[in-house]
Every structure is written in C-alpha cells, then in structure tokens.
Amino acid sequence: MADSDPPVAQECVEGYLFLRRGPRFLLLRRPPSRGSIWVPVSGKVDPGDRDLDAALRRELAEETGFGARHGLLSLDWHVRFDGPDGRPWRLHAYGVELDREEAPRLSAEHDAFEWVGADDAVRRLHYEDNREAVRRLVGLLAPSPNV
C-alpha cells in the first residue's frame, strides 16, 4: 500500500481460508436476508484492533471459531470501494492457511460453508474482487519453475 493512497473512511479485511494441497478453499454463504451469496471471511477494522492482522484474526474467530493458530499470508493487495455510507472504504486481502479441512463454527453472518477447489471458488464467489483474490492466492501458491 503506497503512502500516496488517499485516505479512506473505513479499513476492512478479508481472509481466504485455504489448504495448500489442491488448493482448496473454505467458502461461507450469507443467509437469504443478505443475498445467499458465497464470500470469504470479512469485516471492518475496529478502533481496538492494533493492526490489519489483528482485525483479521478477530474476524476469523467471530465468523468461524478458528483461533490464531492459523498462518496469515498477505496478498499485498487492496481494493477501494464505496461503502454503504457512500464514503471510500479499502479492503485488504489475506490468505489464511489451515493445516486440515475442518468445519467452522458459523456466526449468524453465514448459514452454510463448503470446501471447494480453486476453480469452483472462482465460479461461486459473488464479487469480482473476491474471485481476483483467489486467483492471486493460487498464483502465490504455485511452485515456481526452476530457472
């Protein structure tokens, strides 16, 4: 993130929970009242969060019950968008590596979950920036060729 980025009204984080083998991704579904769309873990950075990593770890715990034992991988990428208040918000994307496929403890923000492959994740995620984040994460996980 460059220092020249204009200020935003709200910083947000999103985490793409994944297993390297496959890779496989954990998608969460919003309930019908929120569109029944498939999304990653996401949320606003709160004033009490010391940094973006802390905000994401808090959101992980709230939305899935998964604790801080999982590794975070910054995608070094953010997306600006208009928040519901009409002011600019910024979303920071992370990969969240898990060591095994496990069931989350869903919050009221979601009514279902599913582990899927990368292609299925890209097809099912509702927002284009979510799909792009998965593509970027897959690119980071791909073994680099020996040169």
Has residue 5 been placed in a domain?
no
pLDDT over 90 (residue 29): yes
Better-scored residue on pLDDT, 68 or 47: 47
* DSSP state letter for 125: B
Mean pLDDT of 4-17: 90
Tokens in use for 106?
A: 């869903």
- For residue 118, what are the domain limits? 10-141
Has residue 124 been placed in a domain?
yes
pLDDT in tens, 53-109: 999 999 999 999 997 667 899 999 899 999 999 999 999 999 999 989 999 999 999
Has residue 125 been placed in a domain?
yes
Residue-level pLDDT at 68: 64
| Count: domains in the chain | 1
Cβ neighbours, 10 Å, residue 126: 15
Element (DSSP H or E) covering residue 137: helix 128-141
pLDDT over 90 (residue 127): yes
Q: Where residue 76 sits, what CATH number does that domain have?
A: 3.90.79.10
Has residue 147 been placed in a domain?
no
Mean pLDDT of 104-118: 96
Residue 54: exposed, middle, or buried by beta-carbon count in 10 A (0-12, 13-18, 19+)?
Answer: middle
Has residue 116 been placed in a domain?
yes
Has residue 43 been placed in a domain?
yes
Has residue 1 been placed in a domain?
no
Q: What is d(CA 90, CA 121) in angstroms, rounded to the nearest whole number?
A: 22
Peptide bond into 88 cis (omega under 30): no
Residue-level pLDDT at 1: 45
Q: How confident is the model at residue 145 (pLDDT cuts 50, 70, 90)?
A: low
Residue-level pLDDT at 2: 47
Question: Any residues with CB less than 8 A from the CB of 38 and at least 6 apart, and which?
Answer: 27, 28, 29, 30, 114, 124, 125, 126
Q: How confident is the model at residue 35 (pLDDT cuts 50, 70, 90)?
A: very high
Mean pLDDT of 41-48: 96
Has residue 73 been placed in a domain?
yes
pLDDT over 80 (residue 4): no
Element (DSSP H or E) covering residue 138: helix 128-141
Q: What is d(CA 33, CA 108) in angstroms, rounded to the nearest whole number?
A: 11
DSSP lists the bridge partners of residue 131 as none
